[in-house]
Amino acid sequence: MGVKVLKFGGSSVADGIQLTKIKNIIDADPDRRYIVVSAPGKRFDGDNKITDLLYMCRAQMQHNIPYEQLFQVITDRYSAVKYNLGIDVDLDRYYDEIRANLDNKCSEDYIASRGEYLSAILVAAYLGYDFVDTKGLILFDKRGRLLADETNEALKAELAKHERAVLPGFYGSDKETGEIRVLSRGGSDVTGSLVARAVNADIYENWTDVSGLLMADPRIVKDPEPIQTISYIELRELSYMGASVLHEDAVFPVRLANIPINIRNTNEPDDPGTIITTEHAPEGKKVLSGIAGNKDFTVIAMYKNMLNKEIGYVRRVLTILEDFDISFEHIPTGIDTVSVVISNEQLDGKLDDVLEALDRQMKPDDMSVHEDISLIAVVGLGMSRRPGTSAKICTALADEGINIRMLNQGSSEINIIIGVDTADFENAIRAIYNAFAEK
């Protein structure tokens, strides 16, 4: 028998109708043995995610505002699913346990984790699978950092005892104190990946509400093509630039164990979705795998005569950024120029002080600041060692009258980063997509 690990996101466990869909998916393949679930998410626009409501409960409790009404909204969601589907489970005792802990001023992580906890108990009872708590299995050190290898050992040992199990996503516990610790938001993706590694799964199926990744943002490009397969490194480049479908940390555990990830759509279970693997680009693979971009960057450009002869100039520029605790994205350099590209989030409230420090310490002959710069990543394993890709991008942009503010090719040759004025952002993405689209 094979082993598949499935993770269902918040929208896939949002209500009874969604749970019947996931049961059909699981029943369709006996290899689907380990299931990780999120807390119920939004059922419609304007609805609330259970995790957000739980954080609110804790905030109310801390400010001595009665939380009971809010807590009732949460328990009603689970109870409705239980009654609609006729699931035989005593939820009241879990509600009482959580209430008692809230009254005892439980930690924020504890309360945030209860969405996944209740979700997994309910889904396990519905499927007739074992419930396996991730407390004591997904382990953190005292600074809240995941202990990947110890987690792997603990999960492996426990899951060997269960042929089929449902596990809550998003949390684990402190290895020393046993206190609940959560991963960052969206962390159930990471739990699924850790479980897949521990049971050495054939595949990690990540079930969500979209049929995988698209080659470009559909809000910018009309009907972009779906991505059928993509490698982990390409995905990393795209996610870094804002294409979000998976938690960033979810890739590492399965990548280590060479397990492919399949992004699937709970609402369209026949769609094949996107497969993410370590495979290298097969011959004849498309040049372009995807395009993603991000607005809100600032470029600080410095000019200094004979800069190239001065040893340590760029290092000192970077030290100044380091002193301000700023991480930069790119540093394009010329003979007498150096520019740093920094996200506005990093610069928030610090720009004037940074400029003052650069001016005082680096004494540039000229310094200018360009705000409203956007970066676009054009990503594809098929680009590597294929001449003409940059030319094609530049021509496409020139034809649209778009000025390129920066162009940077990563040494792996699988991505080209283009900086444009934010006003040109959408047009630039469309122009590049159309240049590569297979007509």
Note the residues at the interface with ligand ASP (CB under 6 A): 10, 38-39, 49, 51, 115, 169-170, 185-188
- C-beta of 185 vs 386, nearer to ligand ASP: 185
Residue 34: CB minimum distance to ligand ASP, A: 16
Query: Are 118 and 93 in contact, with CB atoms under 8 Å apart?
Result: no
- C-beta of 48 vs 294, nearer to ligand ASP: 48
Q: Which residue bears the tokens 């469309």?
A: 430
Distance CA 161, CA 149 (A): 19
Residue 51: CB minimum distance to ligand ASP, A: 4
Q: Which residue bears the tokens 């240049």?
A: 435
* Chain residue whose CB lies nearest ligand ASP: 188
Residue 194: CB minimum distance to ligand ASP, A: 13
- C-beta of 14 vs 243, nearer to ligand ASP: 14
- C-beta of 39 vs 418, nearer to ligand ASP: 39
- C-beta of 8 vs 328, nearer to ligand ASP: 8
Residue 171: CB minimum distance to ligand ASP, A: 9
Residue 182 burial class via C-beta count within 10 angstroms: exposed 0-12, middle 13-18, buried 19 and up = buried
Q: Which residue bears the tokens 């005569």?
A: 305
- C-beta of 51 vs 289, nearer to ligand ASP: 51
The strand pair at 32-37 and 139-140 is best described as: unpaired
Amino acid identity, position 215: M
Structure tokens at 166: 């449902």
Spacing of C-alpha 372 from chain mean position: 25
Contacts of 110 (CB under 8 A, 6+ apart): 101, 179, 180
Spacing of C-alpha 205 from chain mean position: 15
Residue 74: CB minimum distance to ligand ASP, A: 12
- C-beta of 38 vs 277, nearer to ligand ASP: 38
Q: Which residue bears the tokens 């993509």?
A: 230
- C-beta of 187 vs 273, nearer to ligand ASP: 187
Helix ranges (H only) for 184-312 are 188-198, 232-240, 251-256
Distance CA 329, CA 65 (A): 44
Residue 57: CB minimum distance to ligand ASP, A: 14
Nearest CA to 167 among 37, 77, 70, 58?
37
Amino acid identity, position 400: E
CA angle 330, 433, 340 (to 5 degrees): 10
- C-beta of 249 vs 296, nearer to ligand ASP: 249
Residue 250: CB minimum distance to ligand ASP, A: 10
Length of the chain in terms of residues written: 439
Structure tokens at 10: 């918040």
